[in-house]
């Protein structure tokens, strides 16, 4: 098992990063310090961590509001905290936003990753007790037909500005390993769901619209397929890779849980009917509305994750039925979190993305 003392977690105030920090501080025996480096874009929310880090000692948790593209700031953090591990979540992460405005995706996802790698190269040249873990996505592999799976050695074929920027960052991470001998690991994961997900992604968009009695916008024919994984299971996989994964290796992570968007939204409607006490399980389905498709919409993602299961003994721990119900209950019980999200920038995005569909 590898042990680290000072871990930079980038993007620790976003959806997966915040769930990761919550998990590491509460459920593992990690005894060192987490330095959460987050610029707090529209997707970063300090409330995601408040109850876990409020009042916590600086020897365990530090927050730095920093842009990962700012080399001087990143350099100072490496020096100040004697950083020995980076777990890199920070990214522009929403495909639809990348279609409306790809520039920020190139900046953060490519230049930001480059900046972090440069700092790691400078500080870790002679130190092999270090690790750069890069969190990536299954979308770099492209789109599948009705059959087949993405494996770790599937050739890259990104098709949106988001996935192209993530693919570029993956290549940079691999290049720093091969060229400079930087200790790296990588993971490529399928669609996550769970608490604290920003309501621009499919599941929280649908939940908030159900609560507001608004249309449930299904892109295209609703037959696109995604493979869903509970966010905690993604994070246990990342921790397994960071502590036990082979250096230089990529591990696929997935739910082995494929759903068409339409089936998933129908199921969400049924669970929400149950949780909100409706007699008729189909009550919310009348809100389902077909809207203009996403440009270049990838048809199907599906991951083979035998490698991480076989090598590291990881497996999914939460069934989709349990995870979805817990997630929807979380949104129902956290109306204050939802209200705080509904700022000007959130409303502007909803208008921009949906009004012309």
Which residues sit at the interface with ligand NAD, rule CB under 6 A? Answer: 10-11, 13-17, 38-41, 43-44, 67-69, 89-93, 108, 112, 135, 137, 166, 189, 191-192, 198
Is 333 one of the annotated active-site residues of the chain? no
Q: Is 197 in the site for ligand DAU (CB under 6 A)?
A: no
| CA dihedral for 315, 318, 323, 329, sign (positive or negative) | negative
Query: What's the rounded Cα separation, in Å, for the pair 6 and 176?
Result: 21
- Chain residues 124-183 in contact with ligand DAU, contact rule CB under 6 A: 137-139
By a kind-dependent CB cut-off of 5 to 8 A, residue 44 interacts, out of ligand NAD, ligand DAU, none, with: ligand NAD
User: Minimum Å distance from CB 301 to ligand DAU?
Assistant: 5
Q: Which residue has the tokens 């091969």?
A: 178
Decide: is 190 part of the binding site for ligand DAU (CB under 6 A): yes
In the complex, the smallest distance separating the C-beta of residue 278 from ligand NAD, rounded to whole angstroms, is: 29
Active site residue 51: no
Q: Indicate the residue whose CB is closest to ligand NAD.
A: 14
Q: Which of 61, 149, 162, 284 is catalytic?
A: 162
Judged by beta carbon, residue 123 or residue 219, the one nearer ligand DAU is: 219
Q: Find residue 225's DSSP bridge partners.
A: 260, 300
**Annotated catalytic residue within 38, 67, 92, 139:** 139
Which of 218, 269, 273, 302 lies at the binding interface for ligand DAU (CB under 6 A)?
218
**What sign does the CA torsion over 307, 22, 320, 94 have?**
negative
Contact between 16 and ligand DAU per CB under 6 A:
no
Contacts of 178 (CB under 8 A, 6+ apart): none
Q: Is 330 exposed, middle or buried (0-12, 13-18, 19+ CB in 10 A)?
A: middle
Task: Report the residue number, 118 or 256, with the smaller CB distance to ligand DAU.
Answer: 256
Q: Does 202 bind ligand DAU (CB under 6 A)?
A: yes
Longest dimension (CA), the chain: 65
Residue 320 touches which of ligand DAU, ligand NAD, none (CB < 5 to 8 A by kind)?
none
Q: How far apart are CA 290 and CA 261, in angstroms?
A: 11
Binds 69: which of ligand DAU, ligand NAD, none (CB < 5-8 Å by kind): ligand NAD
Round to whole Å and give the CA distance between 203 and 193. 7
What does 214-277 look like in DSSP terms, one character per residue?
A: --EEEETTS--EEEEEEHHHHHHHHHHHHHHSPTT-EEEE--S-EEEHHHHHHHHHHHHHHHTT
* Binding at 135: pick from ligand NAD, ligand DAU, none (beta carbon under 5-8 Å per type): ligand NAD
CB 138 within 8 A of CB 148: no
- Does the active-site annotation cover 152? no
> What's the CA gap between 273 and 266, in Å, rounded?
11
Give whichever of 18 and 83 is closer to ligand DAU, judged by the CB atom. 18
Tell me which residues are annotated as active site: 138-139, 162
Q: Which residues bind ligand DAU (CB under 6 A)?
A: 93-95, 137-139, 190-191, 201-202, 205, 217-219, 224, 226, 261, 294, 301
């Amino acid at each position: 098992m590898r042990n680290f003392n000072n871990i930079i977690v980038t993007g620790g105030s976003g959806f997966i990063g915040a769930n990761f920090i919550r998990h590491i501080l509460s459920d593992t025996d990690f005894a060192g310090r987490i330095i959460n480096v987050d610029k707090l874009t529209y997707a970063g929310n300090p409330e995601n961590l408040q109850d876990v880090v409020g009042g916590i000692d600086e020897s365990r948790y530090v927050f730095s509001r920093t842009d990962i593209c700012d080399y001087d700031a990143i350099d100072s953090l490496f020096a100040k905290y004697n950083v020995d591990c980076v777990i890199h979540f920070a990214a522009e992460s929403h495909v639809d936003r990348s279609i409306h405005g790809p520039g920020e995706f190139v900046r953060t996802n490519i230049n930001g990753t480059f900046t972090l790698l440069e700092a790691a190269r400078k500080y870790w040249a002679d130190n092999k007790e270090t690790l750069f873990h890069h969190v990536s996505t299954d979308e770099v592999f492209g789109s599948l037909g009705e059959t087949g799976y993405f494996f770790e050695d599937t050739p890259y074929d990104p098709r949106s500005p988001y996935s192209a920027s993530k693919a570029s960052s993956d290549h940079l991470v691999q290049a720093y390993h091969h060229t400079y001998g930087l200790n790296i690991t990588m993971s490529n994961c399928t669609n996550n769901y769970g608490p604290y997900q920003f309501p621009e992604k499919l599941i929280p968009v649908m939940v908030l619209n159900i609560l507001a009695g608004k249309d449930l916008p299904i892109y295209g024919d609703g037959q696109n397929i995604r493979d869903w994984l509970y966010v905690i299971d993604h994070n246990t996989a990342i921790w397994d890779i960071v502590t036990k994964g082979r250096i230089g290796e990529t591990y696929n992570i997935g739910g082995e849980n494929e759903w068409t968007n339409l089936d998933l939204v129908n199921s969400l409607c049924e669970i929400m009917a149950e949780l909100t006490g409706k007699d008729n399980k189909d009550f919310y389905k009348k809100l389902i509305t077909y809207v203009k498709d996403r440009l270049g919409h990838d048809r199907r993602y599906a991951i083979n994750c035998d490698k991480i299961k076989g090598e590291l003994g990881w497996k999914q721990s939460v069934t989709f039925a349990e995870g979805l119900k817990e997630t929807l209950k979380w949104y129902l019980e956290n109306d204050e979190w939802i209200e705080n999200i509904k700022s000007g920038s959130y409303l502007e995005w909803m208008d921009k993305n949906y009004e012309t569909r």
